[in-house]
Structure formats: structure tokens, C-alpha cells
């Protein structure tokens, strides 16, 4: 099988690899790079377990080929924590008991971060609609919605206080 060379920055580290053109981005992350924090839950792009950020925007990494990530920056669940610990969305999920088995969680957190990037102050329905592409079988979503809402409020409070705590991916 022909191989293509790609260079991708994943969680802040640049990697150059030979990949088969048909290799999915999620397979590249898991199998080639060992980034097993990103998970696979379906084969029809419905579940969202594989959600990562491509240049800061959330994508389902099972819907892309690895070669399409060539020259781009990918952030996974393993790369969002700042130097001082957890990303605020990770903290919000923990504090609101927004996960049970945890299988949807990496994708759910990545999608939620992107949701707040697009709309920093979503109401309940906007959060529900915004997470439509991510399935969870355990939580009934109630605490996930609460977590996203609380992350939004925490960020808003910080802005009000004029604090400059960095949010989002490490640059």
C-alpha cells in the first residue's frame, strides 16, 4: 500500500509519519501516536467519542483521514490541561458528576470547549443542541449540561473580575 508522509502537530508536539492514505485521523492518533485518550464508539460518525480539535475547532476524528491533518494542529483530551492542572471544562465535568463510565467524556469535553468558544454564554437548550452530535449512554445528559453551564459561568466570573487566567489550548 502506498504511504504518504504527513507532519502534524498533536498536543503541542510535531510528528512526521508515513501513513496509508486510507488511515483515519482517529486511527493515527490512537495507533501511531498512542493517544488512546481519544476513543472510537461507532462507525457512522454518530457518537462523537472521537472528537478532537483541529486548529482549535472541534471535529470528529473518525470523519477525516490522517493525511487531511497534514500541516495542521490537533489537540486531544490529553493536551488541553494547562501547566497548572486541568482545563476548566475538565474540572467542571468532575465537579458536576458529568461522567460515569467515561467513554463519551473525552469527546464530550472537547465538543463542550468548542461550544463555549462559539458561544460563551449558552442557555440550557443551546447546550443541548450544541452537543447533539455526542452520545452518552450513562448520564442522561443532565449533569453534562450543568457542567457546561457551570464552566461558562466560571469563565464569565473570571472575565468580570478582570482575571487573565488563560483558557483553552496551550498555545
Looking at the chain, the number of H-run helices and the number of E-run strands are 5, 5
Looking at 69, 136, 148, 167, which residue binds ligand FES (CB under 6 A)?
136
Nearest to 120 by CA among 80, 88, 96, 83: 88
Angle separating helix axes 142-160 and 88-95, nearest 10 degrees = 130
Exposure of 71 by Cβ count < 10 A (0-12 exposed, 13-18 middle, 19+ buried)?
Answer: exposed
Is residue 140 a contact point for ligand FES (CB under 6 A)?
A: no
Looking at 78, 154, 158, 168, which residue binds other proteins (CB under 8 A)?
78
Binding mask 115-154 for other proteins (x = CB under 8 A): ---------x--xxx-xxxxxxxxxxxxxxx---------
List the grid coordinates of 127.
447546550
Length of the chain: 171
If the CB atoms of residues 8 and 23 are measured against other proteins, the closer one turns out to be 23
Q: How far is the CB of 95 from ligand FES (least distance, A)?
A: 15
4 binds, among other proteins, ligand FES, none (CB under 5 to 8 A by kind): none
Looking at 8, 28, 33, 38, which residue binds other proteins (CB under 8 A)?
38
In this structure, what are the phi and psi dihedrals at residue 36, rounded to the nearest 5 degrees? -80, 5
List the grid coordinates of 96.
458536576
Is residue 73 a contact point for other proteins (CB under 8 A)?
A: no
Q: How far is the CB of 86 from other proteins (least distance, A)?
A: 7
Of residues 42 through 71, those in contact with other proteins by CB under 8 A are: 42-44, 46-47, 49
Q: What is the DSSP string of 51-105?
A: EEEETTEEEETTSSBGGGGTT-EEE-GGG---TTS--HHHHHHHHTT--SS-SSH
Give the residues lining the site for ligand FES (CB under 6 A): 40-42, 45-50, 60, 62, 99-105, 136-139
Give the residues lining the site for other proteins (CB under 8 A): 20, 22, 30, 34-44, 46-47, 49, 76-78, 81, 86, 90, 93-95, 97, 99-106, 109, 124, 127-129, 131-145
Amino acid at each position: 500500500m502506498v504511504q504518504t508522509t504527513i507532519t502534524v502537530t498533536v498536543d503541542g508536539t510535531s510528528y512526521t509519519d508515513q501513513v496509508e492514505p486510507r488511515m483515519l485521523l482517529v486511527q493515527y492518533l490512537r495507533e501511531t501516536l498512542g493517544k488512546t485518550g481519544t476513543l472510537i464508539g461507532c462507525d457512522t460518525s454518530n457518537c462523537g467519542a472521537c472528537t478532537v480539535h483541529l486548529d482549535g475547532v472541534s471535529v470528529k476524528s473518525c470523519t477525516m483521514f490522517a493525511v487531511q491533518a497534514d500541516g495542521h494542529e490537533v489537540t486531544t483530551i490529553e493536551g488541553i490541561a494547562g501547566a497548572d492542572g486541568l482545563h476548566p471544562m475538565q474540572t467542571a465535568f468532575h465537579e458536576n458528576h458529568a461522567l460515569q463510565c467515561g467513554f463519551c467524556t473525552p469527546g464530550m469535553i472537547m465538543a463542550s470547549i468548542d461550544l463555549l468558544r462559539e458561544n460563551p454564554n449558552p442557555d440550557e437548550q443551546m447546550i443541548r443542541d450544541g452537543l447533539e452530535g455526542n452520545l452518552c449512554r450513562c448520564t442522561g445528559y443532565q449533569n453534562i449540561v450543568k457542567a457546561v453551564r457551570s464552566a461558562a459561568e466560571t469563565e464569565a466570573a473570571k472575565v468580570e473580575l478582570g482575571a487573565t487566567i488563560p483558557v483553552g489550548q496551550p498555545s
